[in-house]
C-alpha cells in the first residue's frame, strides 16, 4: 500500500451566456465582471504564488465553453475594462468622501487598490487572455481541465434525445480544442446531473471518468463498499469519482458552511445600496437599477453581534484558520476510510472536493486565501497528497473498481433536479423538446448546405444550444430564493428570445425566404461557437 490519502479539488467555473451587443454594459453582465475580478484573477494569482514558492499544488477545473467564449470576446473584454475603470474612478471619489472616517477610508483604499491591481493583472500580466494562462498551468501539470456540456445543459432531461446530447458534447469538444488544444479526459456533468444511461454516451466520446453526487453513489445498485472514498465504475468502464459530501458542506452549506462566519465579507450589501443616486450614476442600469460597485464595507455579522465594518486582515486570518480545520477534518475522514479499505484493498482513499469556482472569491471573498492555505499547509502533512482526478486514477490503475449502477441525481434542492423543473419553469420544456426535434429535422433535410442557408442553419444550432442551458430554469425556479425578479425576467426573456430566433429561422427555411439583416443581427449578438456545424444535430 502506498500509504497516501489523496485530496482532489475540482472547481466548476461557469456563468450564463450574458453577452449584450449594446455599447454600454448591463446588469446581466455583472456576474461575468465579478467572476473575472473576484474568482479567476485571484485564483491565477494563487497559482502564481504557489508556483514561485514551489508548492506542489494540484487542482482540476471545469471551465465551461460559454465562459471560455466570454473571456475571449472583444466586446466583453472591453465592457469588463470599462467596468473596472468605473470602479477605479468611483474609488477615488470614495477616498475623498471617507477621508474623515479612518475605518471606511481604509476599506475604500482596499477596494481601490484591488481594482487597480485587477486591471494591471488582466491587461499586463495575463494579457487579457485567461484561457491561455489556464492552458499554461495545464501543460505544467499543475491543473487538469475537464470538459463539460456546451451550454450547461442538464443532460438527464434529454436522455431520449441523442442528437441533443451529441450536439452538446461535440460542440464542447470543439471549443476545448480551440481554446486549450486538448481533449479532456474527464467530463463534468452540468448541475452534476447523472442518469445511468449517460455512461454509454461518455464511452462513445472516450471520456475516462466523470464525477457524481454523493447520494447518487450511496443509492447505487449495489451500494459502494467504501462510500465516497474510492472510485466506482459503470458497465461501460467509465470511472466514477464521488463527491465528498462533508467537504462540500463545509464550504457551500448556507447554514453550516465555513463562509457563514460573521467576520467574513457580506456579499449582498454594496455601498451602492446606501449612497444617493447622484453618487453612483456610473453604476445605474438602463432602468435606474442600482448595480454593484464592488465596494462592500460590512461583514456578515451574526445573531449575537451586530453587523460591523469589514476587516480584510482579520477575515483573511479567519480563513487561514478554517483552512487548517478543513484539512484536519479531511485527514480524519480519510484515515477512517483507509482503515476500512486496508482490510481487503491495497488502494488510496480519496476525498474529492467539488465546489463552484465562483463561490471562492465572488460569493466568499476570502475563498482564495482559504484555498491557498489548504495547499500550503496540506503539502506539509504526512500521509496527504494533492492530485488531479486523472493522476489519482493513474495511481490506482491496478485496483479493482466496484461495478455499480448509480442513482439518477443532480445538485440543487433535494438532489433530484427539482431546482430545474417545477411550476415556475416546467412550461418551457415542451417548447424545448419540440425545438430540438425541429433542429434535428432541419439537419436531416438540409445536407451539405453552403452560403446563407448554411449560416442560418448554424445560427439555428447556436440558438437551440443556448435555449437548452439549465441556467434559465435555475434562475426561474421557485427554489432559487436568491434570484431577484429582474433576474427571473432576464432568464425568461433570454429563453423566449432564443426559442423565437430559432423558430424564425426554421420558418424562413421552410418558406425559402431568409432575411439577411435579421440573420446578421443575431449572428452578431449571439456569436458563440463560431466553428459550429449544424450537422451535429443529425439523427445518426
Q: Where are the domains of the chain?
A: 5-19+28-147+184-259+317-413, 421-537
- Provide, for the chain, the percentages of residues in helix, strand and coil under a 3-state DSSP scheme, each rounded to the nearest 5: 55, 10, 35
User: By the 8 A CB rule, do 196 and 155 touch?
Assistant: no
Residues of the chain with pLDDT under 70: 1-3, 23, 303-306, 480-483
**Nearest in space to 202 (alpha carbons), one of 260, 243, 159:** 159
Q: Which helix (H) or strand (E) holds 431?
A: helix 429-445
Measured distance CA(344)–CA(225) in Å, rounded:
11
Measured distance CA(33)–CA(39) in Å, rounded:
10
The pLDDT score that the predictor gives to residue 173 is 97
439: left (phi over 0), alpha (psi -120 to 50) or beta: alpha
The pLDDT score that the predictor gives to residue 377 is 95
Total count of residues recorded for the chain: 540
- DSSP β-bridge partners for residue 409: 194
The pLDDT score that the predictor gives to residue 1 is 40
Query: Which SS3 state, helix, strand or coil, does residue 452 take?
Result: helix
Q: Which residue has the cell 453618487?
A: 279
Cα angle 202, 208, 210 (rounded to 5 degrees) comes to 65
Measured distance CA(344)–CA(356) in Å, rounded:
35
CATH code of the region 5-19+28-147+184-259+317-413: 3.20.110.10
The pLDDT score that the predictor gives to residue 327 is 95
Question: What's the fold here for domain 421-537?
Answer: immunoglobulin/albumin-binding domain-like (1.20.1430)
**Nearest in space to 193 (alpha carbons), one of 213, 172, 163, 175:** 213
Handedness of CA 229, 231, 234, 240 (dihedral sign): positive
The pLDDT score that the predictor gives to residue 418 is 86
Measured distance CA(92)–CA(66) in Å, rounded:
34
Pairing type for strands 232-233 and 239-242 reads: antiparallel
User: By the 8 A CB rule, do 272 and 290 touch?
Assistant: yes
User: By the 8 A CB rule, do 34 and 83 touch?
Assistant: no
CB atoms within 10 A of CB 313: 9
User: By the 8 A CB rule, do 14 and 407 touch?
Assistant: no
CB atoms within 10 A of CB 395: 17
Measured distance CA(246)–CA(256) in Å, rounded:
10
Dump strand ranges (E) for 245-363: 350-356
CA–chain centroid gap for 239, Å, is: 22
Rg (CA), the chain: 24
The Cα-based distances of 89 to 27, 95, 268, 449, 525 in angstroms read 19, 10, 22, 51, 29
**Nearest in space to 19 (alpha carbons), one of 375, 466, 515:** 466
Q: Which helix (H) or strand (E) holds 251?
A: helix 245-252
Residue 181 has which C-alpha cell? Answer: 488544444
Measured distance CA(245)–CA(212) in Å, rounded:
11
Amino acid at each position: 500500500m502506498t500509504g497516501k490519502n489523496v485530496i482532489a479539488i475540482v472547481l466548476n467555473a461557469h456563468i450564463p451566456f450574458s453577452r449584450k451587443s449594446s455599447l454600454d454594459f448591463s446588469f446581466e453582465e455583472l456576474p461575468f465582471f465579478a467572476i473575472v475580478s473576484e474568482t479567476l484573477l485571484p485564483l491565477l494569482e494563487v497559482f502564481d504564488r504557489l508556483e514561485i514558492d514551489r508548492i506542489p499544488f494540484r487542482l482540476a477545473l471545469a471551465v465551461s465553453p460559454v465562459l471560455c467564449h466570454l473571456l475571449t470576446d472583444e466586446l466583453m473584454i472591453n465592457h469588463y475594462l470599462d467596468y473596472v475603470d468605473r470602479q477605479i474612478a468611483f474609488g477615488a471619489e470614495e477616498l475623498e468622501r471617507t477621508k474623515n472616517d479612518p475605518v471606511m477610508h481604509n476599506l475604500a483604499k482596499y477596494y481601490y487598490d484591488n481594482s487597480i491591481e485587477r486591471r494591471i493583472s488582466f491587461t499586463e500580466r495575463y494579457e487579457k487572455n485567461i484561457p491561455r494562462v489556464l492552458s499554461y498551468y495545464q501543460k505544467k501539470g499543475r491543473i487538469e481541465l475537464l470538459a463539460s456540456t456546451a451550454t450547461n445543459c442538464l443532460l438527464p432531461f434529454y436522455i431520449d434525445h441523442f442528437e441533443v446530447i451529441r450536439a452538446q458534447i461535440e460542440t464542447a469538444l470543439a471549443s476545448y480544442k480551440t481554446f486549450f488544444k486538448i481533449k479532456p479526459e474527464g467530463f463534468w456533468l452540468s448541475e452534476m446531473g447523472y442518469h445511468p444511461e449517460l455512461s454509454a454516451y461518455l464511452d462513445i466520446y472516450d471520456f475516462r471518468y466523470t464525477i457524481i453526487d454523493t447520494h447518487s453513489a450511496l443509492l447505487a445498485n449495489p451500494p459502494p463498499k467504501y462510500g465516497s472514498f474510492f472510485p466506482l465504475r459503470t458497465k461501460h468502464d467509465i470511472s466514477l469519482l464521488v463527491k465528498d459530501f462533508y467537504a462540500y458542506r463545509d464550504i457551500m452549506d448556507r447554514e453550516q458552511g465555513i463562509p457563514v462566519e460573521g467576520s467574513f465579507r457580506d456579499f449582498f450589501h454594496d455601498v451602492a445600496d446606501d449612497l444617493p443616486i447622484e453618487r453612483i450614476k456610473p453604476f445605474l442600469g438602463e432602468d435606474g437599477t442600482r448595480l454593484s460597485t464592488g465596494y462592500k464595507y460590512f461583514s456578515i455579522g451574526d445573531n449575537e453581534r451586530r453587523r460591523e465594518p469589514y476587516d480584510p486582515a482579520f477575515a483573511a486570518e479567519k480563513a487561514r484558520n478554517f483552512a487548517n480545520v478543513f484539512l484536519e477534518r479531511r485527514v480524519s475522514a480519510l484515515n477512517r476510510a483507509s482503515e476500512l479499505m486496508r482490510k481487503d484493498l491495497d488502494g488510496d482513499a480519496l476525498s474529492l472536493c467539488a465546489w463552484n469556482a465562483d463561490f471562492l472569491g465572488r460569493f466568499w471573498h476570502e475563498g482564495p486565501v482559504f484555498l491557498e492555505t489548504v495547499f500550503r499547509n496540506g503539502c506539509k502533512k504526512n500521509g496527504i497528497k494533492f492530485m488531479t482526478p486523472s493522476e489519482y486514477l493513474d495511481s490506482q490503475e491496478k485496483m479493482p473498481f466496484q461495478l455499480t449502477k448509480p442513482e439518477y441525481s443532480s445538485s440543487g434542492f433535494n438532489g433530484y433536479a427539482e431546482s430545474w423543473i417545477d411550476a415556475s419553469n416546467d412550461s418551457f420544456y415542451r417548447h424545448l423538446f419540440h425545438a430540438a426535434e425541429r433542429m434535428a429535422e432541419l439537419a436531416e433535410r438540409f445536407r451539405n448546405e453552403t452560403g446563407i442557408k448554411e449560416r442560418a442553419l448554424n445560427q439555428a444550432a447556436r440558438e437551440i444550444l443556448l435555449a437548452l442551458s439549465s441556467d434559465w430554469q435555475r434562475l426561474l425556479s421557485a427554489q432559487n430564493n436568491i434570484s431577484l425578479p429582474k433576474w427571473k425576467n432576464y432568464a425568461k426573456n433570454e429563453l423566449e428570445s432564443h426559442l423565437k430566433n430559432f423558430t424564425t429561422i426554421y420558418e424562413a427555411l421552410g418558406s425559402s425566404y431568409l432575411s439577411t439583416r435579421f440573420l446578421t443581427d443575431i449572428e452578431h449578438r449571439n456569436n458563440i461557437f463560431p466553428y459550429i456545424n449544424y450537422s451535429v444535430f443529425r439523427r445518426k
